[in-house]
Amino acid sequence: MMGFVTGTMKKSIAYIILASAIVSLAYIASPGFRLKGQITPPMLAGGLEKDNRLLGEADLERLYPDIVLRQRKGNEKVIALTFDDGPDNVYTPAVLDVLKAKQVRATFFLIGNRIEEYAESTRRIIEEGHLIGNHTYSHPNTGKPLGQQLRAELERTEAALETFNVNPSYLFRPPYGALSAPAALEVANMGYRLALWSVDSLDWRGLTKEEVVSNIMSQVGPGRVILQHSSGGPGEDLSGSVLALSEVVDTLKQQGYTFLTMDEMFPASCEQK
Ligand SMILES: [Zn+2]
């Protein structure tokens, strides 16, 4: 009996090793693999998304209903695609390629020091008609008290954009989705809206295409704002997110959705500073 079990187990182990080898080879040959691990953008000052993201943190919409943009009311089939943490020279161009092929415009919440570092990608975002929002200069954790640093972070990013002749959109997306109460007041006083989201792809966890598609499609609906990333920290893999984007746009188009930039999605809130 023991001999039989051991033999079966040996066979099972051999099958598992063979299957793993096939899966690894298929992954290496997949288009997603080639996008991986080529970026060395400036570090995120607050650390990696996965070490800082606080799910279910303070409900900013409840606290600041006048300036928080999360979801458009009503049943109109409109969607806003948004991409954080860019630009870079790997994932941002890949996202732009998909959007260009699908003829869809989106909103990019860019980090100031990366705007300076990756001027070519910044230029593409502007030339291809997308909207740019402010995601700070160095990506500090805005859930912690920053004092005067926050104002400086926002102004430095706007200054970086001015060199590309872009007017500020006054849309601010807080890094890690967290903002302290004094910080929220500060950005409101500066004339900013808090551009949050209602659908989190969780792509910063390095998910597969299927996982990202499933996360988005299970929460999507009229007036929703989808959060993805167009760059990450060193070693973060967003290739699944790029592949998912193509499928999500196709599916939502088939379902009759139109894609809007954040200022088109919330025109009344974005009218004036
Ligand atoms: Zn971010």
Q: Which amino acid is at 44?
A: L
How many beta carbons lie within 10 A of that of residue 189, not counting itself?
A: 9
What pLDDT is attached to residue 3?
A: 47
| Domains of the chain as residue ranges with CATH | 35-270 (3.20.20.370)
Task: Tell me, in angstroms, the distance from the centre of ligand 1 to residue 134's CA.
Answer: 10
pLDDT in tens, 149-160: 999 999 999 999
Q: What is the pLDDT of residues 216-235, one digit of tens each?
A: 999 999 999 999 999 998 88
Kindly state the average pLDDT of the residues 48-66.
64
- For residue 23, the CA-to-ligand 1 centroid distance in Å is 31
Which of the residues are catalytic? 84, 229
Return the DSSP state at 30.
S
11 Cα to the center of ligand 1, angstroms: 47
Which region among 1-5, 11-15, 116-120, 155-159 has the lowest average model confidence (pLDDT)?
Answer: 1-5
1 has a pLDDT exceeding 50: no
Q: Could you list which residues have their CB under 5 Å from ion ligand 1?
A: 84-85, 175
Instruction: Report whether pLDDT(56) > 60.
Output: no
What is the pTM for the complete model shown? Answer: 0.81
CA 9 / ligand 1 centre spacing (Å): 46
| Closest listed residue to residue 112, CA positions, set 49, 149, 146, 159 | 159
| Per-residue pLDDT, 12 | 67
Over 186-232, what HEC string results? HHHHCCCEEECCCEECCHHHCCCHHHHHHHHHCCCCCCEEEEEECCC
What gap in Å lies between CA 114 and CA 116, rounded to an integer?
5
The mean pLDDT value for 193-220 works out to 96
